[in-house]
Structure 1
């Protein structure tokens, strides 16, 4: 039995759907901590999609979005609240008077 010479599996970029060789892809950890590799499954993005990502820390982002979504806001108000919460160093939403 002969083995295939192509040992580089292909992956699908979740952002654009392109199928690319794994060696040409960029490893992406949706939790923002690619160095802690224990019990993780990574996604693989093509280079153009990876380059468009924001590489800022995402710790606490999900809980912030859940907190903001508790109220029914118009989209513009939601964005204003989000920016204010991100710029606030203690991470708490401030009540507007």
Structure 2
């Protein structure tokens, strides 16, 4: 997996959309806070979306989705391992809700 932390900013004035990879001026981008609270800015590094990708996002509550994705990513270097771990985590969450 590509480490998006190295792709977030091209410079202070340019950012990279995390969805499509487009490089655009920071002023034309939308901040994306993977924890869902972009108003609490202390100690955070934001990621960015271009306007079309931002419009395409679901703006509904994510109920722990980002935390699950981060846990699934762990040390997994390949896509299949990530998907397997994500499925395991989601399956565990579903079984504890029942």
Q: CA RMSD in A?
A: 2.9
Structure 2 stretches lacking a partner, 5+ long: 1-11, 69-85
Superposed counterparts of 1:70-81, under 5 Å: 70=92
More helix by share: 2
Taking structure 2 as the reference length, what is the TM-score of the superposition?
0.57
In the TM superposition, structure 1's runs of 4+ consecutive aligned residues that sit over 3 Å from their partners are: none
Q: TM-score, normalised by structure 1?
A: 0.58
| Contact kept in structure 2, 1:12 and 1:18, CA below 8 Å | yes
Larger Rg: 1
Aligned residues: 69
Alignment gaps of 5+ in structure 1: 1-7, 72-80, 86-91
Aligned residue number for residue 49 of structure 1: 53
